[in-house]
Amino acid sequence: MLSNPASVFAILALFTSTAHCLTYMGCFGPPTNLEFNSRHVFQSVGACRRQCMTLNLPVLGLTNGTDCLCGASAPPPSNVVEESLCNSRCPGYAPDICGGTGFVSIFFDTEVQPSKEPSKEPSNEAATQGAESVEMGEL
């Protein structure tokens, strides 16, 4: 159960921001294992999701209000920080939260099937335990 109002708001914002199922993993501090993908003046969770989907990467992160990050696995749970540190509204869709200054809002896209290449990275299974899954509404 979510006890932090900011967590509830961030998840509720997803209902109107994207049309697919994302799992909100939380607000993370550095370092993350995600790669910078793009900076967009009209960034949103949905826009970042589409960018990461084209790369077949299931983990997306938003930071600094405008930056989209993508990756194959989530950062470790030990990097989770207070939800209040992810306080930057997305300029492309204000109900979305696009991380914070130096902090990343992380989502896992359950519809992306990453390639089955061998990886030396640890599984993100532990990182997704306890995360809330949310079915998205239409754009």
Q: Is 38 part of any domain?
A: yes
> Does residue 55 lie in a domain region?
yes
Q: Convert 56-69 into a string of H (helix), E (strand) and C (coil).
A: CCCEEEEECCCEEE
How far is the C-alpha of 124 from the C-alpha of 84, rounded, in Å?
A: 24
Total residues found in the chain within this entry:
139
Dump pLDDT digits (tens) for 52-101.
999 999 999 999 999 999 999 999 999 999 999 999 999 999 999 999 99
Mean pLDDT over each residue of the chain, to the nearest integer: 79
Q: Is the pLDDT of residue 137 over 60?
A: no
Residue type, 80: V
Closest CA to 97 of 55, 50, 43, 135: 43
Domain hosting residue 75, numbered range: 5-134
Note whether residue 86 is domain-resident. yes
On whether residue 12 sits in a domain, the answer given is: yes
Percent of the chain with pLDDT over 70: 68
Please give the pLDDT value at position 32.
85
The single residue listed with the structure tokens 């992810």 is 86
The Cβ of residue 137 has, within 10 Å, a number of other Cβ atoms equal to: 12
What tokens does 21 get? 């199922």
Query: Does residue 139 lie within any of the structural domains?
Result: no
Q: Is the pLDDT of residue 124 over 50?
A: no
Alpha helices in 4-139 (DSSP H): 5-17, 45-54, 125-128
What is the mean pLDDT of the segment spanning 19-36?
A: 88
For the chain, how many structural domains are there in total? Answer: 1
Distance from C-alpha of 71 to C-alpha of 57, rounded to nearest angstrom: 5
pLDDT for the residue 3: 55
Q: Is this structure's pTM higher than 0.85?
A: no
Residue 30 within any structural domain of the chain: yes
- pLDDT score, position 89: 96
121: left (phi over 0), alpha (psi -120 to 50) or beta: beta
